[in-house]
């Protein structure tokens, strides 16, 4: 994938993330919930100053620094290296998600989360599209790196 294409893909994903977050903030009061599938899936508006499970919520500047460094590293890495299509898309997903949450932290002071999943009595921490991009990107990149054909050769 050439530079123009991965930049367009990343910006498109970033715009989707920011648009959905803006719609949540505009249409759903903080803390309110819209049940989609009872006892399984809901849209709820929360703001998270920390990371997953609200860790380090009293030190949001840590996540501004970390996500800023990750974004800068990925931009430089993608710009300077020619990677397979799978690896490029995987890293673009991570970049887009990291940028989406970085923008929230930098300009809003917290990340807007809204996807709430419940499994029985366990309520998974509320997350957003950017988080989904990061997780999908990391898992797909690791899958590409670890996948080997029947002869033990990397196949990507």
Rounded (10°) CA dihedral 71, 115, 14, 135:
40
| Residue 155 lies inside a defined structural domain of this protein | no
With contact defined as beta carbons under 8 Å apart, do 93 and 134 qualify? Answer: yes
Counted domains in the chain: 1
What is the phi-psi region of residue 115: left when phi exceeds 0, alpha when psi lies from -120 to 50, beta otherwise?
A: beta
| Residue 106 lies inside a defined structural domain of this protein | yes
Q: Given the residues 17, 104, 131, 149, select the one marked as catalytic.
A: 131
Q: What is the pLDDT of residues 90-113, one digit of tens each?
A: 999 999 999 999 999 999 999 999
| Residue 17 lies inside a defined structural domain of this protein | yes
17 is catalytic: no
113 is catalytic: yes
| Residue 21 lies inside a defined structural domain of this protein | yes
pTM for the complete prediction?
Answer: 0.89
CB neighbours of residue 137 within 10 Å: 22
25-38 average pLDDT score:
95
Average pLDDT, the chain: 90
Q: What is the DSSP letter of 69?
A: H
| Residue 60 lies inside a defined structural domain of this protein | yes
131-151 average pLDDT score:
87
Q: How confident is the model at residue 51 (pLDDT cuts 50, 70, 90)?
A: low
Q: How confident is the model at residue 58 (pLDDT cuts 50, 70, 90)?
A: low
| Residue 152 lies inside a defined structural domain of this protein | no
| Residue 104 lies inside a defined structural domain of this protein | yes
Q: Given the residues 17, 104, 113, 149, select the one marked as catalytic.
A: 113
| Residue 14 lies inside a defined structural domain of this protein | yes
Q: How confident is the model at residue 52 (pLDDT cuts 50, 70, 90)?
A: low
pLDDT computed for residue 49 by the predictor:
81
Reported in sequence order, the residue ranges of 7-141 that DSSP labels E, i.e. its strands, are 33-37, 41-48, 111-119, 122-123
Range of the domain at 64: 3-33+47-115+128-146
């Amino acid at each position: 994938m050439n530079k123009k294409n991965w930049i367009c893909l990343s910006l498109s994903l970033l715009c989707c993330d920011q648009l959905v977050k803006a719609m949540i903030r505009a249409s759903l009061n903080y803390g309110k919930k819209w049940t989609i599938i009872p006892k399984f899936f809901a849209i709820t508006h929360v703001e998270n100053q920390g990371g997953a499970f609200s860790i380090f919520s009293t030190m949001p500047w840590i996540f501004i620094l970390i996500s800023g460094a990750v974004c800068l590293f990925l931009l430089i890495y993608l710009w300077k290296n020619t990677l397979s299509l799978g690896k490029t898309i995987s890293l673009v997903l991570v970049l887009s998600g990291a940028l989406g949450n970085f923008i929230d932290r930098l300009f809003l002071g917290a990340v807007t989360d809204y996807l709430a999943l419940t499994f029985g009595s366990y309520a998974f921490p509320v997350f957003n599209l950017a988080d989904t991009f990061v997780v999908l990107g990391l898992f797909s990149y690791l899958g590409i790196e670890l996948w080997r054909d029947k002869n033990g050769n990397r196949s990507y």
